[in-house]
Amino acid sequence: MIFTDEAKALYLLEKIGYYRLSGYWYPLLADKEKHTFKPDANFETVFSLYKFDRELRKLVNAEIEKIEVAIRVKMAYELSMAYHLFWIEDASLFSSSHNHLATLDKINEEYMRSNEEFIIAFKNKYSDPLPPACIILEITSFGTLSRLYRNLKPSKAKRDIAKSFALPDIVFDSWLHSLACVRNRCAHHTRLWNSLIKIQPLSPRRPQRTWLENNTTCSNRIYYVFSMIIYLLNEINPNHTFKQKLEELFAKYPNVDRAAMGFPPAWQNEPLWAK
């Protein structure tokens, strides 16, 4: 590998770490078994990919947060209206009692360690084990939110939640699970740029809104997640700027290979991605 500034490279290796950076020079290897680099492999390219990925995680995390907030509100409203304010504790509403108990344990942990003022005020005023859903869902993790939805028994309320995001409940469930996984990667500073998404989301067979026309698109790459985010944001806020922000990021780092992120050759022709 070429090092144009060895002192800077040594500093970055000390501060960021060899193994974290090695994920970004892996594509520059000519022989991945012998760990020999291509003739033009440059450490500056590696660091540029690292910086791109860092900014990408921040962007994706911010957009998923908007989706997460909208889902929290919808779940709290629909299920409280359909059942009661303490539906989270009602085992009869969930398919697996084992999973329900495990989720309740996680929620209780999050509740006990929360120092939010509204949680402290509730603890001081009431003796209930947990607050109503509209309160407790404000402090649960996205992963917990996903597990709650997944374990709900089939019902009109469950379908209505998914319908409000223009998806069937089984597809919405898989998207929720996948986005929670991606959100977790962002939160733990895990490489996103050319990674494989382990939790593969389902594709809507008869989408209610504009979706990908290319039905051969791999669902285990970040391009597919970008498409999911666009689809959901189109429903939550049609004036969102995610696509523009993404293009600005690509313009800032022109050497980034979109193909490594799962972008198909004719991705620009997809109506979902139209400007």
Tens of pLDDT, residues 242-262? 999 999 999 999 999 999 999
How high is the pLDDT of residue 33? 84
- Give the residue from 150, 272, 162, 163 showing the smallest Cα distance to 217: 272
How high is the pLDDT of residue 26? 87
Q: Which residues of the chain have pLDDT under 70?
A: none
3-state SS of the chain is CECCCHHHHHHHHHHHCHHHHHHHHHHHEEECCCCEECCCCEHHHHHHHHHHHHHHHHHHHHHHHHHHHHHHHHHHHHHHHHCCCCHHHCHHHECCHHHHHHHHHHHHHHHHHCCCHHHHHHHHHCCCCCCCHHHHCCCCCHHHHHHHHHHECCCHHHHHHHHCCCCCHHHHHHHHHHHHHHHHHHHCCCCCCCCCCCCCCCCCCCCCCCCCCCCCCCCCCHHHHHHHHHHHHHHHCCCCCHHHHHHHHHHHCCCCCHHHHCCCCCHHHCHHHCC
pTM: 0.94
How high is the pLDDT of residue 31? 87
How high is the pLDDT of residue 27? 85
pLDDT in tens, 80-135: 999 999 999 999 999 999 999 999 999 999 999 999 999 999 999 999 999 999 99
How high is the pLDDT of residue 32? 82
